Structure 1
Amino acid sequence: MINLGKTQELIVDRLASQGAYLKSTKDNDDESVLLPMKEVEEGVEIGDKIKVFVYRDSKDRIIATTKKPKLTLGDIGLLEVVDTTNIGAFMDWGLEKDLFIPFKEQRGKIKKGREYLVGTYIDKSDRLCATMNVYDMLDTNSPYKEDDKVEGMVYNINPEIGIFVAVDNKYHGLIPKQRLFRSFELGEKIEAKVIKVRKDGKLELTIRKKAYKQIDGDADRILSKLKSNDGVLMINDKSAPGKIQRELKMSKASFKRAVGKLLKENKIKFIEGGIKRL
C-alpha cells in the first residue's frame, strides 16, 4: 500500500518518458505513483527499490519525490509562512508545492515570513495540510523537573487559561494566566523555568526571574511608563492588583519592590493617588 504523507521504500514497476512508476509490491493490481524523470537516477531499473516521500503536486495528483520534507504526516515542527491568501496560508516544508494551512486550522492572525509550530494531517479531500492545533500531538513524557530551565514556542493564547507553550517543540507547557506579566505573540520563542510538573506530565512554567533579579527590569518598566505619561502615574502601593497588572504587566508585589528601589534612588516620589518622576 502506498501511504500519502509518508516516506517509504517503493519498487520500480515500469519506466516511461515521464519518469518511474513505483509500487509498494510486485502485485500487478497494486496502485502506482510517478517519480518524475528529473528525480530518477541514471541506471535505475525495473525491480529496484527507491526511498521516496508521497504527496500531492500542484495539480492535486499523487506523486513521489526523493526530496526530504521538513515534516511528514503526524510530525510537529516549525515552518515559515511564505504566502497568505483569502482561503488560507502556505508554508515552506522543503518541497516544490508549499504546504497549505486552512483558516480554520490557524490560531490568531499569522504573518508572512514568521515561523509557527504546526502539525500535519490529511483533510476530508485527502490532501496533506498543516494545523496549528497541535495540543493533542504534544507529549507529556518530558525529562524535565521543577526548577529546570526550558525553551519553547507559544502556540496558543487563551486569556482565561494562559499561554500554551510547546517545550522543545514537543512537550506540553503552560504559563498560567496569573503568571502573565507581559503580552506574548503566537510563534514567539521563549525561555522559561518549570515551576510544577503536573500528575499528567504537563509542565507549568514561568518566565519571571527570581525577585531580586527582576527588580531592575520592573523599575525600568515603571520609569518608561512614567516617561510616556508625562512623568505621572496614578498608581501607588494601595492600588488594586488588577489595575497594576493592566497598566504595567506586573504583580502588586513586584510593583512595590520596584517602587521601593526607585524611591531609594530618588528617581520618583509619591503624590496623592500615584507616583511622579523626579
Structure 2
Amino acid sequence: MENLLGRMITGSVTDENETDYFVQAEGTTFRLAKQEIKKPLRAGATFKGFAYESEDHHLTITRNAPQVQVDHYGWGTVVRSQRTLGVFVDIGLPNKDMVVSLDDLPSMMELWPQQGDKLLIALREDHKQRLWGVLADMDIFHAIAQPGKKRMENANVTATVVQNKLVGTRVMTDHYELGFIHPDERDVEPHLGAEVHGRIIGVHDDGTLNLSLKPRAYEAIDDDAAMLLAALEHSEAGHLEFSDKSSPAAIRAYFGISKGQFKRAIGHLLKDRKITQHDGQLWLVTDQATDDSAPQA
C-alpha cells in the first residue's frame, strides 16, 4: 500500500455491494461510494481517483480529489485542535480530516490555529501508512507569491498568518503577496492561520510588503477620544485636571497614551463641542451646562 495513499491512483473494479464498488490497485482494495457514480461500473472497468483511509479506517477512493495531496499544497480549514496531537484540518473529504502534528505547530499553544483558520498544507505518508498534514514552509510561499507594487503603499489588505517568529509575523495576502508585521506594528501577536486586517506601510524592492495592524493616526483619534470622553463622564465633577499643557509623563501614567495622541483627542472633542478647556482642566459639556458647572474657554 506504500505510495498509494494521498495520491491519485488508477485501479480496476473487482466487486460491488449495495453501497460501494471495490477498486483494486497494486493488490490493495479500496471502497468507492456508489453515490459518487452516475453510470454503473462493470467488473474490470478502470477507475482513477484519490486514495485515503477514512475516519472509520476503511481504505477509500474518491473521484472528488482534494487539492491537498502528497507533494501538492492547498488551503484547508481548521476544524478543531487536540492538545496531545495537533490540529485537524478539513481538506474537502467527506469522512476524513487531516492532522497537522503538534511538532509542526508553534511551541506556545495560544499561537496554534483556531477553528475556522486557514492553513496551506500538503500531505505526507509515515512509515505506518498514515497521512499527516504538512505546513508549507517559506520556500513554498516564496514560490507562489506575487510581488507587491510601490503604488500599494497605504492600502488596506486582508492576509493570513503563515509564520510566527520572535522577529515578527509573516503573512500572505488574499492576492498572494508576502508581508511582514514587526512586533511594534501590532498590539498582540496573531496566531498561525489567523485572518488579519492591516495596511501597507512599505514595499521592498523584492515586492515583500511591510504591514501594520495599528490604525492610522486619524482612525486612532476616535478610540482615544472615546476613552477620554468616558473618563470625563465617569469623573465625579465632570472635569479632569488635565489639559494640552499637561506633562507627557502624567498623561501617559493616567491615560496610557502619548501627549500627541492626547492632544489630537482633545482637538477632536473640542471640535465636536463635547468638552471645553478652562484653568488647566478639561470639562465635560452637558445639555444642562451652566457657568458654574462647565466654564467656557
Q: TM-score, normalised by structure 2?
A: 0.65
SS at match of 1:104: helix
SS at match of 1:215: helix
Map of 2:208 onto structure 1: 202
Q: Residues 168, 52 of structure 1: CA spacing in aligned structure 2 closer, same or farther, 3 A cutoff?
A: same
How far residue 255 of structure 1 moved from its aligned partner, in angstroms, is 5.0
Pair 1:138 & 2:141 matched? yes
CA RMSD for the aligned pairs? 4.3
Q: Select 2:53's aligned residue among 45, 53, 56.
A: 56
**Alpha carbons 1:12, 1:48 under 8 Å: kept:** yes
What amino acid sits opposite 1:10 in the alignment? T
Q: Residues 233, 14 of structure 1: CA spacing in aligned structure 2 closer, same or farther, 3 A cutoff?
A: farther
Q: Residues 58, 201 of structure 1: CA spacing in aligned structure 2 closer, same or farther, 3 A cutoff?
A: same
How far residue 210 of structure 1 moved from its aligned partner, in angstroms, is 4.2
Pair 1:178 & 2:184 matched? yes
Q: Residues 271, 129 of structure 1: CA spacing in aligned structure 2 closer, same or farther, 3 A cutoff?
A: farther
Distance in 2 of aligned mates of 1:157 and 1:277: 45
SS at match of 2:248: coil
Map of 1:35 onto structure 2: 31
**Alpha carbons 1:139, 1:170 under 8 Å: kept:** no
How far residue 101 of structure 1 moved from its aligned partner, in angstroms, is 2.4
Q: Residues 36, 78 of structure 1: CA spacing in aligned structure 2 closer, same or farther, 3 A cutoff?
A: closer
What amino acid sits opposite 2:31 in the alignment? L
Distance in 2 of aligned mates of 1:161 and 1:127: 35
Q: Select 1:150's aligned residue among 157, 174, 180.
A: 157
Distance in 1 of aligned mates of 2:195 and 2:64: 28
Q: Residues 214, 49 of structure 1: CA spacing in aligned structure 2 closer, same or farther, 3 A cutoff?
A: farther
How far residue 102 of structure 1 moved from its aligned partner, in angstroms, is 2.0
What amino acid sits opposite 1:104 in the alignment? D
Q: Residues 51, 199 of structure 1: CA spacing in aligned structure 2 closer, same or farther, 3 A cutoff?
A: farther
How far residue 258 of structure 1 moved from its aligned partner, in angstroms, is 3.0
Q: Select 1:92's aligned residue among 90, 95, 102.
A: 90
Q: Residues 195, 185 of structure 1: CA spacing in aligned structure 2 closer, same or farther, 3 A cutoff?
A: closer
What amino acid sits opposite 1:173 in the alignment? G
**Alpha carbons 1:157, 1:164 under 8 Å: kept:** yes
Map of 2:248 onto structure 1: 238
Map of 2:5 onto structure 1: 4
SS at match of 1:138: helix
How far residue 223 of structure 1 moved from its aligned partner, in angstroms, is 4.7
**Alpha carbons 1:145, 1:196 under 8 Å: kept:** no
Q: Residues 171, 98 of structure 1: CA spacing in aligned structure 2 closer, same or farther, 3 A cutoff?
A: same
What amino acid sits opposite 2:133 in the alignment? A
Distance in 1 of aligned mates of 2:231 and 2:178: 34
Map of 2:291 onto structure 1: none
**Alpha carbons 1:93, 1:99 under 8 Å: kept:** yes
Map of 1:75 onto structure 2: 73
- Comparing 215-224 with 98-107, greater Cα deviation is found at 215-224
Distance in 2 of aligned mates of 1:222 and 1:40: 62
How far residue 79 of structure 1 moved from its aligned partner, in angstroms, is 0.5
What amino acid sits opposite 2:14 in the alignment? R
Map of 2:295 onto structure 1: none
What amino acid sits opposite 2:184 in the alignment? Q
**Alpha carbons 1:21, 1:33 under 8 Å: kept:** yes
**Alpha carbons 1:81, 1:92 under 8 Å: kept:** yes
SS at match of 1:139: helix
**Alpha carbons 2:77, 2:119 under 8 Å: kept:** yes
**Alpha carbons 1:79, 1:118 under 8 Å: kept:** no
State the identity %: 22
Residue deviations 1:208-265 (CA, integer Å, cap 9, x gap): 454334422342355557889999899x66249xx78x945xx775455335434665
Alignment length (residue pairs):
263
- Comparing 71-80 with 38-47, greater Cα deviation is found at 38-47
Larger Rg: 2
Q: TM-score, normalised by structure 1?
A: 0.68
SS at match of 1:67: coil
